[in-house]
Structure 1
Amino acid sequence: MVLMSDDVWLNDEQQRAWVRFISVVERLPGVLDTQLQHDADLTHFDYLTLAMLSEAPDRTLRMTELALVTNATLPRLSHVVSRLEKRGFIERSPSTDDRRATNARLTDAGWEKVGATAPGHVGTVRDYVIDPLDAQDVEDLHRVMGKILAKLDPEHGLRVQR
């Protein structure tokens, strides 16, 4: 039998923080998905994909870059982009710079969908995340999430880390 030292376990304060953090991690995606499904017939990941393209130059990104900015694997992203393509929100084409690469471009219909969906999504984010916090809390949230992201993404591959 292997005995673990006490320093392996979380102390009471760390345990309380961890339980709250994991509760947010588990519950927030459902809140975001519910609002987006109800108001826009989109999942949160669908919306994130459209939103990232809406912020890109010419509303276009290589699929590999889109995977990075949405924190997705290429297979997952390809599946979602196929669904959004069928709905007329995205179109794919070979890259003009590298024919082996594929670009995803937000269509005019996709641009309109993002514009129509954004206010409700931002309202939900404000309601559940931003408004309960004061300015110092928001700054602290940014700082703390930065530390956690630095550990999760040490090579700063995510755009949010760059």
Structure 2
Amino acid sequence: MMYLETQFSVFMINKPGVLAQLLDEFARSNVNIQALTMMDSVEHGVLRVVAKNHKKVCQLLTDLNMQFSETDVLCVNLSNKSGALAEITNKLAKAHINISYAYCTAGARGGRTTGVIKVADVKKAMKVLQGGGKTTTKKKKPVKRSPRK
């Protein structure tokens, strides 16, 4: 399963308690977080978060006077096994689709995981991953088998 979702990039002061305070506000507002990643620099942190209720998150961040931006990201439901994300990124690479960043979360339905991928061309990426895009793949060599007796 694959779908488009809004991701919020929230710019925060890099000091103790800021992330905890924001996540407490999400919890109090019953915002269910699907995926998140946190990056930092010396001066500020950037929280990237995907949550179910877009309007509620937008209003919450506005009320808290937090600087944020929104972008569309591709969410891909993956098997929770080695190589699942690699398979997706290889398909996108073969179709010459640039990936700006990606991260994963555990806890999708059925023990699966969700890959969150920021790509340059969302429509093309969805087409490729749904099997409608042209990609160049190596043809498998025929296997020679001995005749049955």
TM-score of the pair, normalised by structure 1: 0.21
TM-score of the pair, normalised by structure 2: 0.23
Greater per-residue helix proportion: 1
Report which structure shows greater RCO (CA 8 Å, sep ≥6). 2
Greater per-residue strand proportion: 2
